[in-house]
Amino acid sequence: MAASGAALCLTAVTLTGCGAVGGLTGDNEVTLRVVAADYGDNPQNSSAAYWKGLAEGFQKDHPGIKVEVDVYSWSEVDAKVAEMVKAGKAPDIAQIGAYADYAAAGKLYSTAELLSVKTEADFLAPLADAGKVKQTQYGMPFVSSTRLLFYNEKLLADAGVIGKDGKGWQPKSWADLEAAAKKLKGAGVTTPFALPLGREEAQAETMMWMLAGGGGYTDNEEGYSIDSADNVKSLEFLRDKMVGQGLTGPVEPGKLDRQAAFEAFTKGEVGMLNGHPTLMKQAEAKGVKYGMVPLPASDGSPQPAMGVADWVMAFKNGHREQSGKFLDYLYQPKNVTAFTDKYDLLPATTSGFQAKQATTNGSAAQLKPFLAALPSSRLYPVGKKSWAGVSEDIKQKIGTAVQPGGQPAKVLEEIATAARAADKG
């Protein structure tokens, strides 16, 4: 998600200094300390405004509970929470990128201990399942997104891939992607297909291709299957057919980050790439006309898309009841919709999902293809406390697998072996 600025610390009424520890502030008054991530990319659209309004609304209905919220950029929020936990000053509630380590350490309340039955049942099933450790849900999905294949309508039309109107392209297999990329290269397009396997989000790009190739990071029993035959074939396709034929542009995939690929797309230098909803606004701001379709499977068979979720968790600070009330309020449909509308993200609840589906205006209508992919999407194995380390291993090594002369089977075996050892440990 977008990261910007330093921490913004606020209460429901006024700005406060950072670092205050929530606790009893009166005979019958409790202060909840909340840490959240900033989804804005400048001070004007910072998430601090959303959390301030949310806290104010909650306090009006619950006069005995005060709420302080610290909003940090995505580049530092996970580390900030880790520091607080290590110092014995964990926040009551955190909205960050991962929860499994804290759940495995016994530091979190389960959702059953916190939420009303109505709220707990409202989470979309794939997201709720991803929030579980050993069949118990600790992570509450906050917002989500799926990925689609974006294409530059003008570049594909000029290359003869689609008609001059630039509409209606629907590749059926990877052979179609290869053929389109070759035409784009022949037409002089700098990067026919951007393949960002750099550190920023290599684990996401890799997972998209693995799923489309019939594989994935885990098997049906949720054991790591990173080195499966299907995954090897997927990376061999990228190595031989895309990178090997010069269809992925001048920057090595292992050195290309997601945002750099997005920026190149908005400059008209990229014909195709996998993207999330954020790219819509970036492309529109630069006047780029684009289409969006699901990334086809290698052989055209139906395969799930990749989904991503960010997480809310509540630490065992003795404020279980108060935290539960605040979380029930956070997940009310009006509050979910207010946030997802502001940042063009997908909701994590059934009620929010239905509200988005019913909307036909503006950016909400453009989100419909992403929404359609969400219910059956596959997420990272975030319920494994080993996942953070495995993700880092993928970021460091996966780019070498697809470069000319790369060895996908060897690289995937190395990552898988370390992943299984970490999982057992």
Indicate if the pLDDT at residue 177 is higher than 60: yes
Entry pTM: 0.79
Determine the pLDDT at residue 21: 37
Type of residue at 169: W
Going by the DSSP 8-state scheme, the letter that residue 349 receives in this structure is: B
Determine the pLDDT at residue 103: 94
pLDDT tier for residue 166 given thresholds of 50, 70 and 90: low
pLDDT tier for residue 199 given thresholds of 50, 70 and 90: confident
Determine the pLDDT at residue 34: 98
Stretch 257-283: mean pLDDT: 93
CB neighbour burial string for 179-196, b if at least 16 within 10 angstroms, e if fewer:
ebbbbbbeeebbbbbbbb
Give the best-scoring range by mean pLDDT among 96-100, 296-300, 382-386.
Answer: 296-300
Are 73 and 4 contacting, i.e. CB atoms less than 8 angstroms apart?
yes
Q: How far apart are CA 173 and CA 297, in angstroms?
A: 6
Indicate if the pLDDT at residue 43 is higher than 80: yes
Determine the pLDDT at residue 16: 35
Count CA within 13 A, CB hemisphere, residue 99: 31
* CA geometry: angle 357, 361, 365, nearest 5 deg: 45
CATH for 8-145+308-379, among 3.10.100.10, 3.40.190.10, 3.40.50.970, 1.10.150.120?
A: 3.40.190.10
Homologous superfamily, domain 148-304+386-424: Periplasmic binding protein-like II (3.40.190.10)
Determine the pLDDT at residue 361: 60
Boundaries of every domain in the chain:
8-145+308-379, 148-304+386-424
pLDDT in tens, 294-346: 999 999 998 988 988 999 999 999 999 999 999 999 999 999 999 988 888 88
Stretch 144-161: mean pLDDT: 94
Helix or strand or coil: residue 364?
helix
Indicate if the pLDDT at residue 366 is higher than 70: yes
Indicate if the pLDDT at residue 2 is higher than 70: no
Indicate if the pLDDT at residue 129 is higher than 60: yes
Residues across the chain: 425
Indicate if the pLDDT at residue 62 is higher than 60: yes
Q: How far apart are CA 205 and CA 148, in angstroms?
A: 11
DSSP string, 11-78: ESSSB--TTPPP-B-SSS-EEEEEEEEE--SSGGG-THHHHHHHHHHHHHH-TTEEEEEEEEETTTHH
Stretch 33-42: mean pLDDT: 89
Indicate if the pLDDT at residue 61 is higher than 50: yes
Indicate if the pLDDT at residue 249 is higher than 70: yes
pLDDT tier for residue 97 given thresholds of 50, 70 and 90: confident
Residue entry with tokens 């999902």: 353
Same CATH topology for 8-145+308-379 and 148-304+386-424: the answer is yes
pLDDT in tens, 11-22: 433 333 333 333
Determine the pLDDT at residue 25: 40
Percent of the chain exceeding pLDDT 70 equals 92
Are 238 and 232 contacting, i.e. CB atoms less than 8 angstroms apart?
no
pLDDT tier for residue 113 given thresholds of 50, 70 and 90: very high
Indicate if the pLDDT at residue 418 is higher than 60: yes
Instruction: Provide the mean pLDDT of the chain.
Output: 89
